[in-house]
Amino acid sequence: MTRPEEVLDVKEWFTCNVPRKDLKILLKRDNYHAAFYFGLWFLLLGATGYLAFYTWPTLWAIPAFLLYGVVYSSGNARWHEASHGTAFKTSWVNDVFYFFCGAMELRDTVDFRWSHARHHSYTLMRGVDAEIPADRPPNLFFVVLDFFYLYNGTFALINLFLHSVGIPSKKVRAYVPKEEYRSLFWSARAVLALHGAVIVLSILTRSILPLLFFTLPRFYGGILQWSFILSQHAGMHENVWDHRLCTRSVRCNFVFSFLFMNMENHVEHHMYPLVPFHALPALSRRIKAEMVSEYPSLAGALLIEIFPALLRQWKEPGFSVARTLPGTGEGENKDGG
């Protein structure tokens, strides 16, 4: 297991000033916000799934399944929130949705719990953060593949198979303690059993439909989800202890905010990871004066900053996008950003 303090000069993260009484209110958890977000999400899954089934096998099924795949892939934001324990106040409900929504995209829940803890503690720290979306220089082919979950999805499946037979992958050996391996292996087996049951159902019914409704949607419908994941850190500074420099917040319309569970407020989420998703907009307003400027849309962030930054990092690995910190009047960047 890699010890971060052996490869990093560990420091304290910068945090914006939030009075204790205000933070206490922001940290308050409940069940009804998540019940609405998850309940409406399941209704959308059902409605778009019915539309896809009804139009099968006509050509109208193609846009119907694409729409279903987009809704299905937004389960990523739901297992992410549940992994923090901040979706539902009731912990066992969090655990149920964490497993189910994670399994929808071939996630080993034990693996991710540890990798995500590392990601929050050491965001974009080279050699330590297990969830850096694009290396330096970025492999642009892999970045494109993940618009269809073909790179990370393939490795997720390989790791599930390794873990299911009791072999810890090279990736997890870096951050999962050995005493957690048993739980890791059984978690992988449970996820594979769920997808295996869907495969068996497809064979028995001689139809690809079961797989089009479970397992495959994350691949054919993940374009929007990967766009959002890229928006969070791609092109940003590595090895800095200020989330305003290594993380990106963007503004989203209410549909995207619902699908992403307010995670477009991503700098805020990293500064205060225990603030529930429903309180992130309020937190964003509270600390706005200390934050860097944000992009007004996801498309703007991708087209104006992220894609150009990745292309430049392909040629100049040391480049990072510039950010001007409030009160300094200075932009911080690397290699001419």
Q: Can you point out the beta strands (E) in the chain? A: 320-324, 331-334
Cα 41 to the chain's mean position, in Å?
Answer: 17
Token pair listed for 191: 């996820």
| 244-264: average pLDDT | 97
pTM of the model: 0.94
pLDDT given for residue 1 in this prediction: 63
Q: 279: which DSSP letter? A: G
Mean pLDDT score, 50-58 = 98
C-alpha 310 chain-centroid distance: 19
- What percent of the chain stands above pLDDT 70? 96
- pLDDT value of position 51: 99
> Does 330 score more than 60 pLDDT?
no
DSSP annotation of 264: T
| Average confidence (pLDDT) over 218-245 | 97
Q: Identify the three-state secondary structure at position 202.
A: helix
How does DSSP classify residue 26? H
Alpha carbon distance 334, 92 (integer Å)? 45
Mean pLDDT calculated for residue range 39-43: 98
Confidence of residue 237 (pLDDT cuts 50, 70, 90): very high
Q: What is the pLDDT of residue 334?
A: 47
Query: Would you list the DSSP string of 95-151?
Result: HHHHHHHHHHTT--HHHHHHHHHHHHHTTT-TTT-TT-SS-SS--HHHHHHGGGT-S
Angle at 76 between CA 73 and CA 81, to 5 degrees: 150
Check pLDDT > 70 for residue 324. Answer: yes
Cβ atoms of 82 and 94 closer than 8 Å:
yes
Give the whole-angstrom CA distance, residue 323 versus residue 331.
5
